[in-house]
Amino acid sequence: MDARQSPREHVRQARARYGTLAVVQRCVALLRGADPAGEEEFLRMLGFRGELAWLLREPNPYWARVWAARALRYCWDDLAAAGVVRGLHDEAWRVVEHCAALAGDHELADAAPTLVDLTEHPVPRVRAAAARALATVAEREHLPALLRLRDDPERNVRTAAERAVAVLRDRLDLDPDPYESSGG
């Protein structure tokens, strides 16, 4: 395999070799914390290029979960939904960021309350990913969390929040005026 391949291409090859369902099942197992020992070949198919010993050492064991969550962005089955929602609570921000993107991409409505909580995450990339996901899964009661993010100190978070608010208002046919005057 070519190390310069995109993540999408790596996952496409893994799907061709193992089948979509098997890729999703293995990714969900890793995302849920399954021991990556014995999964070196599979992780390499997904694009991992390091030594498995590195992957298993502290503080790196989360990297298998990162690779699994990233792969689910290119290979999906609804059986992954519960694992992705659970992944929103992962201790590793990279896992959470990918799971937030997946929750939005696949409209996982069950993720909305956790995504609202993630709008206060210490990592800006997670806050931005939560905002983008809320654009597709949030309901009216979640709008104040997005409105608060418009004042975030990080520009990329503010931009994601502005776009999410616009999408949400359009999607739910909300009038913006009452929310503007109430301060969120």
Of 26, 41, 76, which residue sits at a domain end? 76
Range of the domain at 66: 1-76
Round to whole Å and give the CA distance between 150 and 164.
10
H-run or E-run covering 11: helix 7-18
What is the rounded end-to-end Cα distance, in angstroms, of the chain?
50
The answer to whether residues 171 and 160 touch, using CB atoms and an 8 Å cutoff, is: no
**Contact between 102 and 124 (Cβ < 8 Å):** no
Same domain, 62 and 147: no
- Domain tally, the chain: 2
Q: Which amino acid is at 105?
A: D
Q: Looking at the structure, tell me whether residues 96 and 156 fall in a common domain.
A: yes
Closest listed residue to residue 167, CA positions, set 142, 132, 141, 125: 132
Instruction: Give the type of residue at 90.
Output: D
- Asked if pLDDT for residue 182 goes beyond 60, the answer is no
Regarding whether 175 and 86 lie in a shared domain, the answer is yes
Amino acid at 20: T
For the segment 100-150, what is each residue's pLDDT rounded down to a tens digit?
A: 999 999 999 999 999 999 999 999 999 999 999 999 999 999 999 999 999
Same domain, 51 and 108: no
Kindly state the average pLDDT of the residues 69-79.
97
